[in-house]
Amino acid sequence: MKFTTSAVLASTLALASARACPSPQPQAGEEGLDPKAFGVFRLFAIIIDGPYSQNSTVQFWKNGLSINVKQDGTCRDPSINYASFSIAASDADYQPGGLFLYGANPPIQAFVDRSGMGQGILKFSEGVNPSTPRNGERAPWVITKDHTLMFDNGNGATGFQACTQDQGKTFQVWLQGVDRPAGLEDCHKFTAQVWPVDTSEAENPNQCTYTYTQ
């Protein structure tokens, strides 16, 4: 996707900052920012380890998250190729702490499976009050003070890894915890950097319709 000069500069600064700090590791309880104050956001995958160093946007693809693919969905601005998200507040009536695709109706919500069976898989389900798969967890997701998205169920915050099967052209997003999830051998930890998305315009260009596959 194309970036403005200011966006490129900001992206470069973010990547430089990430190089100065290691990728987030599981920690005991992250103190997160208020999701209501942060609002809608997108994710940049900042990969600094291994041969695939890059700063790329994250897409919704095949009911999960991927990097460097054409996402499953269309936006009011057709040049947009990134997913926008929101996190339900901790005091929300519906799925507090849940991670949702912004604007999806019916709602499309993330879940993870960190068991030996799921190995850190990250997928989405569609609908109101969907059943959670066995061993699945839906919340809470947190945005740290460093503007990094992590999953934190109270037993330690967990970051992400990107796994590629085409030598770094595209990646599937998994939670950290298993070095070779589903037998994927080329996986790299990354920082999921949170960037605000402006939704103030009446004809909001970030309003997207996502294609969920049943």
User: Would you state the structure tokens that stand for residue 156, as one six-digit string?
Assistant: 């330690």
Total domains in the chain come to: 1
pLDDT class for 31, splitting at 50, 70, 90? Answer: low
Rounded to an integer, the average pLDDT of 15-44 is: 62
pLDDT at 130: 82
pTM, 2 dp: 0.83
Cα distance between residue 47 and residue 42, in whole Å: 16
**How far does CA 24 lie from the centroid of its chain?**
14
Rounded to an integer, the average pLDDT of 189-214 is: 91
Regarding predicted confidence, which is higher, 201 or 40?
40
Dihedral angle, C-alpha 51, 53, 58, 61, nearest 10 °: -10
Domain of 173, CATH number, reads 2.80.10
Dihedral angle, C-alpha 53, 144, 195, 205, nearest 10 °: 130
pLDDT at 3: 38
pLDDT class for 14, splitting at 50, 70, 90? Answer: very low
Residue 189, H or E segment: strand 187-196
User: Which range has the worst mean pLDDT, 4-18, 106-120, 172-186, 187-201?
Assistant: 4-18
Q: Which pairing describes strands 64-67 and 157-158: parallel, antiparallel, or unpaired?
A: unpaired
Regarding predicted confidence, which is higher, 120 or 156?
120
- For residue 106, what are the domain limits? 5-210
**How far does CA 101 lie from the centroid of its chain?**
10
Coil, helix or strand at residue 181: helix
> Are the beta carbons of 175 and 114 closer than 8 angstroms?
yes
Q: In sequence order, what are the residues at sequence separation of 6 or more whose Cβ sits closer than 8 angstroms to the Cβ of residue 199? A: 39, 40, 102, 206, 207
**Residue 101 has what DSSP assignment?**
E
